[in-house]
């Protein structure tokens, strides 16, 4: 493996996730910028058809580590497979989709392999061979520009939606086996099972209109104006994470990376500042309305329409206006 | 059990933020600092486990002098003592440099469990706890939503949050590093008695030399990342903002939703 850029794809029982295709696109773009073709890495067990699918991309190679110990994700086995490969080939960058699984092992992989760690990037610029990366800080309120210094590999994760999944360049790539020696890997986590959180009794993905509330609502006893607007619009009620953590609404109302991903015709975000974890769950909505006291709240950057103000004043006025408009 | 909880003091994200004059970070004058949100939950979980198992919590933080205020708060809610990694050389570290320094401080004692928050609300690298675990050679779990001790505190059943409303349940052997997600418990408030008692509790200050580390291994010098600038995002296509009182703004919005967006 002599390529400057690798991309490690995540899959669920062989199904490649959308954000992994985005990572492939990012890796192709990065490799082109550095002069070369990206190589893909797949970890798992029984990955024949999955590898064949990835091989339809313009890549220098698809490396497949097929091993029983990689069937179920554990950080120990994944790091045990990737760290020696990175240390041997020393690619300039290894690109990952920024998912909860990636974050669970990427930092420790960097520490183990002696690589740098650059999580959650949203883009990069190449200025005469010097790369500058963009990533959110302060919960997305600010964007930072980051440079990498020093020698050796850097592990990069790309944020959901930052690179288009349909930007992947098609082509043909040879499939190669990546030999891994996991005999010495000490099992670090015994996976007992997976559980659904709080049973999704409310399917927000089918709603045409959603009124979502954030921390700004101020308490479980202050939901009346939200309910009134939702009723007037025939909308479902959703929420950002702090509302759920505070127990103001049940968990099946949560929208965002650890809740449901929605794309309704109309999404009204009230008292939601717009942390990235929320934005990834709703930014595909056709029309987004933001209502927030803070004019600097990141939610306004993805919204089509906005009102700067206290939701407890704006929502009742909005309900009235909606009812008047509907006659 | 002897438990270490690593906390970070961060700017309050709800506060009015200004970019510093050199454009590289925030203007810190008048900026309110708080304990990072997920670290508050880690601290609470540590206190609960210590109470249940009969042990103590040692709170550990890296940062400038103002960090003592965060450590005092942790002592006021029940931590027994504090370790402050305090030296200009520690500043502006990435997750690898900060994790290296914290791990070296943790190695000076023998802990049964190390808890951290899952991600800082300022730079948000989300990896410091995992790096600490790597240095200690212990198992780690990131984004922890549940901890149950088992087998006489030799192992723990840990629930980790995954995407799309699914949790992974696994067993890890202790000692381990658990990186706690916000929402796991309900952090307690300090009592007046706790605040008074905290004044007498010990905060030990350590430098890189105390940890057997060279200044080039920590902070900005020991990091692969360098933040060159921060800025408020250009508002993209930008929301069309409706002015006026609530009634006027609401009426304008509804008109647009009907006639321009055609969603009503």
B165, pLDDT greater than 80: no
Q: How far apart are CA A125 and CA A30, in angstroms?
A: 9
Q: Tell me if A150 and B233 make a contact (CB, 8 A cut-off).
A: no
Q: How far apart are CA B167 and CA B106, in angstroms?
A: 29
What pLDDT, in 10s, does the model give residues B58-99? 999 999 999 999 999 999 999 999 999 999 999 999 999 999
Question: Which residues in chain B have Cβ-Cβ distances shorter than 8 Å to A142?
Answer: 17, 19, 26, 230-233
Domain segments of chain A: what residues?
Answer: 5-177, 204-326
The token duo for A5 is 């850029």
| DSSP symbols for A165-197 | GGGPPB----EEE-----TTPPP--EEEEEEES
Overall domain count for chain B: 2
B175, pLDDT greater than 80: yes
Range A204-326 has CATH code 3.40.50.1220: yes
CB-neighbour burial class of residue A265 (10 A; exposed 0-12, middle 13-18, buried 19+): middle
pLDDT value of residue A129:
79
**CA of B215: how far to CAs of B59, B87, B109, B208, in Å?**
23, 9, 22, 6
Segment A317-324 mean pLDDT: 96
Nearest CA in chain B to A267: B263
Strand partners, A287: A266
Residue B222 lies in a domain: no
What pLDDT, in 10s, does the model give residues B94-107? 999 999 999 999 99
A17, pLDDT greater than 50: yes
Question: Which residues in chain A have Cβ-Cβ distances shorter than 8 Å to B249?
Answer: 307, 309, 314, 317
Residue B146 lies in a domain: yes
Query: Residue B154 sits in which domain range?
Result: 2-217
Whether A307 and A314 have beta carbons less than 8 Å apart is answered as yes
The token duo for A77 is 């086995």
Those residues whose C-beta lies under 8 Å from the C-beta of residue B36, and which sit 6 or more positions away, are B7, B8, B9, B10, B117, B120, B121, B122
Counting residues of chain A whose pLDDT is more than 70, the rounded percentage is 98
B45, pLDDT greater than 50: yes
The pTM is what?
0.88
Nearest chain A CA: its distance from B196 CA (Å): 29
pLDDT value of residue A177:
96
Q: Tell me if B183 and A241 make a contact (CB, 8 A cut-off).
A: yes
- Which of B162, B178, B182 should be substituted to probe chain A, the one whose Cβ sees the most A Cβ atoms within 10 Å? B162
Residues B168 and B259 in one domain: no
Nearest chain B CA: its distance from A172 CA (Å): 31
Q: How far apart are CA A198 and CA A195, in angstroms?
A: 9
Nearest CA in chain B to A201: B165
Segment A294-323 mean pLDDT: 94
Whether B28 and B10 have beta carbons less than 8 Å apart is answered as no
Q: How far apart are CA A168 and CA A317, in angstroms?
A: 46
| DSSP symbols for B175-229 | S-EEEEPTTSS-PPPPPHHHHHHHTTS-EEEE-TGGGT--GGGSTTTT-SEEEEE
Q: Specify the residue for token string 């949100």.
A: B37
The string over A45-75, giving b where at least 16 C-beta atoms fall within 10 Å of a residue's C-beta and e elsewhere, is eebeebbebbbebbbbbbbbbbbebbeebbb
| DSSP symbols for A237-273 | EEE-HHHHHTTSS-GGGBBSTTSB----SEEEEES--
Whether A190 and A69 have beta carbons less than 8 Å apart is answered as no
A188 vs B163, B172, B254: nearest CB: B172
A192 vs B123, B170, B226: nearest CB: B170
What pLDDT, in 10s, does the model give residues A129-171? 789 999 999 988 899 999 999 999 999 999 988 998 888 999 9
What pLDDT, in 10s, does the model give residues A108-129? 999 999 999 999 999 999 988 7
Question: Which residues in chain A have Cβ-Cβ distances shorter than 8 Å to B26?
Answer: 138, 142
Q: Tell me if B225 and A314 make a contact (CB, 8 A cut-off).
A: no
Whether A117 and B125 have beta carbons less than 8 Å apart is answered as yes
Residue A2 DSSP SS3? coil
CB-neighbour burial class of residue B53 (10 A; exposed 0-12, middle 13-18, buried 19+): middle
Nearest CA in chain B to A186: B139
Helix, strand, coil % over all residues of chain B, rounded to 5: 30, 30, 45
Q: Tell me if B182 and A137 make a contact (CB, 8 A cut-off).
A: no
Residues B42 and B87 in one domain: yes
pLDDT value of residue A198:
63
Residues B210 and B246 in one domain: no
Residues B196 and B74 in one domain: yes
Q: How far apart are CA A11 and CA A73, in angstroms?
A: 10
Phi, psi of B257 (to 5 degrees): -65, -30
Question: Which residues in chain B have Cβ-Cβ distances shorter than 8 Å to A119?
Answer: 95, 124-127
Q: How many CB pairs under 8 A join A and B?
A: 268
A307 vs B126, B249, B263: nearest CB: B249
Q: Specify the residue for token string 């702090």.
A: A242
The token duo for B251 is 């009426």
B234, pLDDT greater than 90: no
Q: Tell me if B253 and A304 make a contact (CB, 8 A cut-off).
A: no
Nearest chain A CA: its distance from B76 CA (Å): 23
Whether B223 and B97 have beta carbons less than 8 Å apart is answered as yes
Q: Tell me if B263 and A209 make a contact (CB, 8 A cut-off).
A: yes
A200, pLDDT greater than 80: no
pLDDT value of residue A293:
93
B253 vs A150, A289, A324: nearest CB: A289
Those residues whose C-beta lies under 8 Å from the C-beta of residue B51, and which sit 6 or more positions away, are none
Q: Specify the higher pLDDT residue, B163 or A199.
A: B163
Query: Would you place residue A3 in the very low, low, confident or very high pLDDT band (cuts 50, 70, 90)?
Result: low
Q: How far apart are CA A271 and CA A277, in angstroms?
A: 15
Compute the mean pLDDT over every residue in chain B, rounded to the nearest whole number: 95
Q: How far apart are CA A294 and CA A91, in angstroms?
A: 43
Nearest CA in chain B to A215: B14
Question: Which residues in chain A have Cβ-Cβ distances shorter than 8 Å to B11?
Answer: 138
Predicted ipTM of the assembly: 0.93
Question: Which residues in chain A have Cβ-Cβ distances shorter than 8 Å to B185?
Answer: none
Residues B190 and B255 in one domain: no
Question: Which residues in chain A have Cβ-Cβ distances shorter than 8 Å to B157?
Answer: 192
What pLDDT, in 10s, does the model give residues A209-267? 999 999 999 999 999 999 999 999 999 999 999 999 888 999 889 999 888 889 999 99
Query: Would you place residue A1 in the very low, low, confident or very high pLDDT band (cuts 50, 70, 90)?
Result: very low
Residues B130 and B258 in one domain: no
Nearest CA in chain A to B180: A104
The token duo for A169 is 């360049």
Whether A229 and A268 have beta carbons less than 8 Å apart is answered as yes
CA contacts within 13 A on the Cβ side of B104: 21
> Quick check: B96 contacting A, CB < 8 Å?
yes
CATH number at residue B113: 3.40.50.620
Those residues whose C-beta lies under 8 Å from the C-beta of residue B74, and which sit 6 or more positions away, are B5, B7, B35, B43, B59, B82
Those residues whose C-beta lies under 8 Å from the C-beta of residue B98, and which sit 6 or more positions away, are B62, B90, B128, B131, B218
Question: Which residues in chain A have Cβ-Cβ distances shorter than 8 Å to B163?
Answer: 99-100, 257-258
> Quick check: B191 contacting A, CB < 8 Å?
no
- Which of B119, B257, B258, B259 should be substituted to probe chain A, the one whose Cβ sees the most A Cβ atoms within 10 Å? B257
> Quick check: B136 contacting A, CB < 8 Å?
no
CB-neighbour burial class of residue A199 (10 A; exposed 0-12, middle 13-18, buried 19+): exposed
Q: Tell me if A137 and B124 make a contact (CB, 8 A cut-off).
A: yes
Q: At what angle do helices B128-136 and B95-106 cross, to 10 degrees?
A: 50
Residues B254 and B187 in one domain: no
Counting residues of chain B whose pLDDT is more than 90, the rounded percentage is 91
Nearest chain B CA: its distance from A281 CA (Å): 10
Which pairing describes strands B177-180 and B140-150: parallel, antiparallel, or unpaired?
Answer: parallel
Q: How far apart are CA B260 and CA B156, in angstroms?
A: 56
Q: What top-level class would CATH report for the domain A5-177?
A: alpha beta
Whether A315 and A214 have beta carbons less than 8 Å apart is answered as no
> Quick check: B15 contacting A, CB < 8 Å?
no
pLDDT value of residue A280:
87
pLDDT value of residue A141:
87
The number of angstroms, rounded, from the C-alpha of A59 to the middle of its chain's C-alpha atoms is 23
Residue B228 lies in a domain: no
Q: Tell me if A120 and B256 make a contact (CB, 8 A cut-off).
A: no
Task: Give residue A118's region: left, alpha or beta (phi > 0; psi -120 to 50).
Answer: beta
The token duo for A202 is 């409310």
B237, pLDDT greater than 90: no
Segment A286-296 mean pLDDT: 93
> Quick check: B110 contacting A, CB < 8 Å?
no
Q: Which of A298-307, B50-59, B125-134 has the lowest mean pLDDT?
A: A298-307
Residues B123 and B68 in one domain: yes
Compute the mean pLDDT over every residue in chain A, rounded to the nearest whole number: 93
């Amino acid at each position: 493996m002599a390529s400057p850029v690798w991309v490690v794809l995540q899959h669920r029982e062989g199904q490649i996730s959308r954000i992994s295709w985005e990572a492939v696109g990012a890796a192709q773009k990065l490799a082109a910028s550095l002069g070369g073709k990206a190589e893909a890495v797949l970890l798992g067990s029984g990955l024949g058809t999955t590898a064949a699918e990835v091989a339809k991309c313009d890549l220098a190679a698809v490396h497949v580590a097929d091993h029983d110990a990689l069937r179920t994700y554990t950080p120990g086995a994944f790091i045990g497979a990737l760290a020696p490969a990175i240390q041997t080939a020393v690619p300039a960058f290894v690109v990952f989709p920024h998912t909860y699984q990636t974050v669970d092992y990427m930092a420790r992989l960097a520490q183990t392999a002696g690589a740098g760690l650059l999580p959650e990037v949203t883009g990069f610029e190449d200025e005469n061979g010097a790369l500058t990366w963009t990533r959110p800080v302060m919960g997305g309120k600010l964007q930072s520009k980051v440079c990498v210094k020093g020698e050796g590999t850097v592990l990069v994760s790309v944020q959901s939606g930052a690179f288009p999944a349909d930007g992947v360049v098609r082509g043909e790539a040879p499939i190669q086996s990546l030999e891994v020696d996991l005999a010495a890997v000490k099992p670090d986590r015994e996976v007992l099972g997976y559980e659904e959180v709080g049973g999704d009794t409310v399917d927000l993905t089918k709603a045409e209109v959603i009124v979502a509330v954030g921390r700004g609502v101020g308490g479980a006893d202050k939901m009346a104006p939200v309910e009134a607007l939702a009723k007037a619009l025939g909308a479902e009620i959703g929420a950002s994470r702090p509302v759920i953590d505070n127990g103001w609404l049940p968990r099946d109302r949560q929208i965002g990376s650890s809740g449901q991903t929605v794309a309704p015709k109309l999404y009204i975000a009230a008292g939601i500042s717009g942390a990235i974890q929320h934005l990834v769950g709703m930014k595909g909505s056709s029309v987004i309305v933001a209502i927030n006291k803070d004019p600097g709240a990141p939610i306004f950057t993805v919204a089509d329409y906005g009102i700067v103000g206290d939701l407890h004043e704006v929502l009742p006025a909005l309900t009235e206006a909606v009812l008047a408009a509907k006659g | 059990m002897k438990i270490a909880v690593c906390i970070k003091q961060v700017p309050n994200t709800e506060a009015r933020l200004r970019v510093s004059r050199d454009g590289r970070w925030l203007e810190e004058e008048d900026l309110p600092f708080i304990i990072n949100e997920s670290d508050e939950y880690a601290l609470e979980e540590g206190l609960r486990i210590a109470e249940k198992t009969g042990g103590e919590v040692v709170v550990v933080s890296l940062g400038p002098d103002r960090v003592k205020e965060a450590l005092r708060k942790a002592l006021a809610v029940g931590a027994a003592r504090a370790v402050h990694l305090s030296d200009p050389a520690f500043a502006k570290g990435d997750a690898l440099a900060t994790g290296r320094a914290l791990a070296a401080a943790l190695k000076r004692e023998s802990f049964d469990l190390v808890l951290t928050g899952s991600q800082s609300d300022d730079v948000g690298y989300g990896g410091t706890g995992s790096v600490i675990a790597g240095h200690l050679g212990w198992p780690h779990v990131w984004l922890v939503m549940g901890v149950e001790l088992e087998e006489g505190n030799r192992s723990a059943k840990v629930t980790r949050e995954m995407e799309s409303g699914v949790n992974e349940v696994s067993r890890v052997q202790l000692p381990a590093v658990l990186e706690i997600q916000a929402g796991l418990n309900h952090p307690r408030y300090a009592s007046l008695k706790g605040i008074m008692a905290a004044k007498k509790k010990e905060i030990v200050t350590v430098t890189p030399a105390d940890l057997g580390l060279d200044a080039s291994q920590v902070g900005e010098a020991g990091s692969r990342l360098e933040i060159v600038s921060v800025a408020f995002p250009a508002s993209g296509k930008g929301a069309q903002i409706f002015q006026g009182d609530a009634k006027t703004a609401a009426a304008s919005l509804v008109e647009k939703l009907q006639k321009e967006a055609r969603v009503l």
